[in-house]
A and B are shown apart, each in its own frame.
Chain A
Amino acid sequence: MDHPIQVEALRKNYAAFPAVKGIDFEVRAGEVFGLLGPNGAGKTTTVEILEGLRARTGGRVSVLGFDPEAQPSEVKDRVGVCLQSTRLPEKMKVREAMALFSSFYTRTIDSPELLKRLQLWEKRESLYSQLSGGQKQRLALALALLNDPQVLFLDEPSAGLDPQARLEIHELVQDLRREQRTTLLTTHYIEEAEKLCDRVAIIDEGRIIAMGTPREIQERTLATSTIEIECAPPLAADQAPAWAEAEKIVVDASRSRIAVTSRRPARTIVDMVEWMRANGMELVDIHIKRPTLEEAFIELTGKSLRE
């Protein structure tokens, strides 16, 4: 199956409020696809419709060839879900949770193996209440993987975790990515999307406003890169170069460090290098700062993700 997840013209209204206003996307087999957007953008609603937890108002949705609204059991049996803010009973042991949830699926994988892989094996006799935040999230992930899902939904997998725990989760997701498991991930952490996702859709107020690889999105936006160079000898006092595509050139007091902003940094750099050689100068150091996804996002949505 080329596209395990297909979404066409999806709409969802809560009473009169339109939370999702017609979105289309497809997730390819084996890729990690990110839905990136601020709180209330419609990410969770979209994912929950795909998971078979919510009815949609309009549009067409298919997960592994099933309609999650009409065939929720088929979908639920084949997908893994890691939800935001769910808990387990305080007095349930890790091992027991695995055994309990195993019983709900037609097909499950070896749970000791899974626990070992998620570094929970040592904790298998611990009560849920005794686990740290990161361990709880790893257990949530373990439960999501229990049925060896072809499609994995990760809703804000690292929300509320400390940086160390977040890093662990990221490593796990990257691991999963190597297994070629189709994953749909929602996040409002830009770094997470940049680091983990093959492709990203930016969603805001119920609409997708940009979609592509993180790189493509950056490039499609109007953001400029900054090129910083150091040259020797320094520029003469009267030298005021004008390189191709350069928008703004700032020379510091020593006249050996120059910062150039450009929308097409590749052309600018080639021009700079050629100009220096022609003037008998040497390029000592070069540093290119590309625009971030965050900047792209701010530019696209006009708001910050941290809001």
Chain B
Amino acid sequence: MRAYIALFRSNMQLTLRDRSVLFFNYLFPFIFFFAFAELFHAGTGAGIAYFVGTVLTMGILGNGLFGAGMRSVQDREANILRRFKVTPISPLPILVAAMVSGWLLYLPVPAVLIAIAHFQYAMPLPHNWISLFVMVTLGVCALRALGLILAAVTNTMQEAMIAIQVLYMMMLFLSGATIPSAILPKWAQTVAEFMPAAYLVSGFQGIFFRDQTILDSGPAVGALVLSIVLGMFLAMQLFRWEKEEKIQPRKKLWVLAVLGPFLAMGCYRAYSKEHIGQNEALFRDLQRSGTFLIRNTRIFVGDGSVIENGSVLVRDGKIDEIFQGAGPDPDRIRAEVVEGAGKTLLPGLVDVHVHLSSPGGISTSTGDYDVKKSIPHSAAALLYSGVIAARSTGDGLDDSRTVRDQIANGSKLGAQLFICGPMFTAEGGHGAEFIQNVPAGVREMVKAQIVRTPKTPEEARRQVRELQAAGVDGIKAILEAGWGAGMLYDRLDLLLVRSVAEEARAQKLPLATHTGDARDVTDAVEVGSTSIEHGSWRDELPDTLLERMVRQGVYLDPTMAVAEAYAQFFAGKADTLNNSLVQQVVLGTVLQGTRDFVTSGKGADAGKAALFRAALERGRSNLLRAWKAGVPLVMGSDSGNPLVFPGPSLHRELQLWVQAGIPAPAALMAATANGAKLLRAQDRFGSIRKGMEADLLLVDGNPLEDISATERISLVVFKGERIRRAGLFEK
């Protein structure tokens, strides 16, 4: 024990006297830190945390590879270890003391770095200090073990220098330590998976950014520990006291043994490709961490009030402050500026009724119907159009949930999604009709993804509970008997609807009920639905029903854009396709295929066209009466239906509301604050208030005077990121 302490003390003394060690350990990372901070404008808040992780990793690389690796080669080559060899000690205390002293000497680096980042750049302090400490410790020890092995398997200073430089450079530039992984090509991101440093970078960023603990990087921690143990063991076995003892070339392969855990992890992750999403997510966090001031703009707050000339400060993904007038000097608060003169800032829009799986038209390419592509595309199109949140009222459970989670964790960019998964309906009811067209082999599988057709109240309740467990955000039920002439459906038994509603309430899930006429609405309200989808397109909603909706606080989502679209579709008209926003977000194959099909007259049906024209009229008058009665209104587009495209269709819906006589502020409230309330997310988005997520839509002109101004999008802000909209459809 005496030898361990003496060696440790000696290492500390020697290291502190060695200028090159001090430089690589302390000064070098800090130079990079300041350079990065200024270069990437990360000097404002959380963005700096990204670089703290980066620079910590760089320091650990230097400490391990040069500090431990080069040092032990030097000691051997300079005949220093030879002197130790004639004393009665084994390599173990030498290796252990080197490990411990290297680790201890590194500890001030994270402390100082975090202090500077906190005080100079306003970085929030990490919460999981213990995880951070463990991660630093494991990182230093693993890299030092690797350094020791490199020292053990190289025969000369030159050899060691080459081996160490190669590994150092590779890890420095490919692991995300200097260049954020997400902007590296995919192959480089895959290569990075084989390097311990990549796990350090993502581990640190996880701890700083997302309040993760080391348990979130379980496999990486395991690999680091294994590397340390293997590295120390092999360093003991391969220890050489003298330069005259040469190592056999094949023993050099032992270095692979230390990297073994990472080779295994790399192979697995290269195979699974999950890392690429993680890199995207971390990079997303960086993008969301900026500070900027949208100033001198009209602000539609979302609570009914309007600030005619104000400014909004966005910081770290949140609305930091709202000012009357131009606001503070942006240089003083380290903020970039978005000039908003002549523009209107709205809360990001909320569409409470979408179907993400279908492209909203007829495509010439069957690939466009692949839900793996169409769901992410729909989510991106929504965000492109300023819709920052959308509720899927009926899509495949697994696929919609996957995309929802990817968007939530930042690995995909799109409107944040709330999903209902499969729809409750009758066997052969509306929503289940097209299942007859699915090949028999996969019919059950498809059905399980998109509908629930309970036969008994017990089954209905169980199915609701199962969906709750599967992670849905709400329940969708269909209560509709149809219109006749090929549009007649079995209506879900009211007893079953009631069971669904009761269980949904018990599970705290909002219930969205699809209705067709006044009887449907009456029943839906009676069982306790949270929102009425479509309302009645066929007959007038009685005043008593509207009063009851007001009393119960039941939302009405009239979805008029879809009624208009069907009227056009059956009339063989494709005017919607000429809309600029539609052309921006809809795939070329879908635009072409839809135009060809609709204008060919193949789908034309004058009877149905008339039916939907009447439905639109009925919907309008019911909407106006509901608004006058004080029914809470939300806005849904029902996009995914023919000519109803996710994104643009919500803007069309706004216009139809205003045409129906709803004042623009009320329509915009329905499309923002009310939608957020229905989704139970009013504390996160839906209005422009201090502390809310910065989910904003900046448009040219004044939609309060001309509702079509909402289509003239100047900027979309999503969780604090100024979305590069053109980039949404890349990849």
A: residues with CB less than 8 A from B are 51, 53, 72-74, 76-77, 81, 83, 85-89, 91-93, 96, 99-105, 143
| Contact across chains for A92 and B14 when beta carbons are under 8 A apart | yes
| Contact across chains for B85 and A104 when beta carbons are under 8 A apart | no
Which B-chain residue is minimally distant from A153 (CB atoms)?
B86
26 A-B interface contacts by CB (under 8 A): A53-B86, A72-B88, A73-B88, A76-B87, A81-B86, A83-B82, A86-B80, A86-B82, A86-B83, A87-B78, A89-B75, A91-B13, A91-B14, A91-B18, A92-B10, A92-B13, A99-B6, A100-B6, A101-B87, A103-B2, A103-B3, A103-B6, A103-B7, A104-B84, A104-B89, A105-B87
* A149–B7 CA distance with the chains assembled, in angstroms: 22
Q: How many residues of B contact A (CB 8 A)?
A: 23
| Contact across chains for B79 and A86 when beta carbons are under 8 A apart | yes
| Contact across chains for B86 and A88 when beta carbons are under 8 A apart | no
Smallest beta-carbon distance B539→chain A, Å: 94
| Contact across chains for B79 and A87 when beta carbons are under 8 A apart | yes
- Residues of B near A93 (CB, < 8 A) are 13
Q: How many A-B residue pairs have CB under 8 A?
A: 60
Q: Mark B55-94, 1 if CB is under 8 A from A, else 0.
A: 0000000000000000000010011101111111100000
Q: Tell me if B250 counts as interface (CB < 8 A to partner A).
A: no
Task: List residues of B (81-111) whose CB comes within 8 Å of A's CBs.
Answer: 82-89
Q: Tell me if B488 counts as interface (CB < 8 A to partner A).
A: no
The answer, among A51, A85, A87, A96, for a CB contact under 8 Å with B86, is A51
* A74–B87 CA distance with the chains assembled, in angstroms: 10
Q: Tell me if B5 counts as interface (CB < 8 A to partner A).
A: yes
* A83–B80 CA distance with the chains assembled, in angstroms: 11
The verdict on A96 contacting B2 (CB below 8 Å), with A73-B88, A86-B79, A105-B88 known, is no
Known: A99-B6, A103-B7. 10 other contacts (CB 8 A): A85-B79, A86-B82, A86-B83, A87-B78, A91-B17, A91-B18, A92-B13, A92-B14, A96-B13, A105-B88
What secondary structure prevails in chain B residues at the interface with A? helix
B: residues with CB less than 8 A from A are 2-3, 5-7, 9-10, 13-14, 17-18, 75, 78-80, 82-89
* A85–B81 CA distance with the chains assembled, in angstroms: 11
| Contact across chains for A96 and B79 when beta carbons are under 8 A apart | no
Which B-chain residue is minimally distant from A51 (CB atoms)?
B86
- Residues of B near A143 (CB, < 8 A) are 83
- Residues of B near A104 (CB, < 8 A) are 3, 6, 84, 87-89
* A93–B83 CA distance with the chains assembled, in angstroms: 16
Which A-chain residue is minimally distant from B17 (CB atoms)?
A91
Smallest beta-carbon distance B587→chain A, Å: 68
| Contact across chains for B17 and A88 when beta carbons are under 8 A apart | no
Which A-chain residue is minimally distant from B86 (CB atoms)?
A81
Which A-chain residue is minimally distant from B242 (CB atoms)?
A53
Which A-chain residue is minimally distant from B89 (CB atoms)?
A104
- Residues of B near A85 (CB, < 8 A) are 79, 82
- Residues of B near A91 (CB, < 8 A) are 13-14, 17-18
- Residues of B near A51 (CB, < 8 A) are 86
Which A-chain residue is minimally distant from B2 (CB atoms)?
A103
* A143–B86 CA distance with the chains assembled, in angstroms: 11
* A86–B88 CA distance with the chains assembled, in angstroms: 17
* A85–B141 CA distance with the chains assembled, in angstroms: 32
| Contact across chains for A96 and B83 when beta carbons are under 8 A apart | no
Smallest beta-carbon distance A44→chain B, Å: 11
| Contact across chains for B86 and A76 when beta carbons are under 8 A apart | yes
| Contact across chains for B86 and A100 when beta carbons are under 8 A apart | no
| Contact across chains for B88 and A76 when beta carbons are under 8 A apart | yes
- Residues of B near A96 (CB, < 8 A) are 10, 13
Smallest beta-carbon distance A184→chain B, Å: 13
* A86–B87 CA distance with the chains assembled, in angstroms: 13
The answer, among A74, A83, A89, for a CB contact under 8 Å with B14, is A89
Smallest beta-carbon distance B151→chain A, Å: 16
| Contact across chains for A83 and B13 when beta carbons are under 8 A apart | no
The verdict on A88 contacting B83 (CB below 8 Å), with A100-B7, A103-B6 known, is yes
* A117–B14 CA distance with the chains assembled, in angstroms: 27
- Residues of B near A103 (CB, < 8 A) are 2-3, 5-7
* A104–B5 CA distance with the chains assembled, in angstroms: 11
Which A-chain residue is minimally distant from B241 (CB atoms)?
A53
Smallest beta-carbon distance B248→chain A, Å: 13
* A104–B80 CA distance with the chains assembled, in angstroms: 15
Smallest beta-carbon distance A118→chain B, Å: 17
* A102–B85 CA distance with the chains assembled, in angstroms: 14
Smallest beta-carbon distance A48→chain B, Å: 9
Which A-chain residue is minimally distant from B15 (CB atoms)?
A91
* A208–B261 CA distance with the chains assembled, in angstroms: 55
- Residues of A near B7 (CB, < 8 A) are 100, 103
Smallest beta-carbon distance B676→chain A, Å: 65
The answer, among B5, B18, B83, for a CB contact under 8 Å with A87, is B83
CB-based closest 9 A-B pairs: A103-B6, A76-B88, A81-B86, A86-B83, A104-B87, A91-B17, A77-B88, A103-B2, A73-B88
Smallest beta-carbon distance B90→chain A, Å: 8
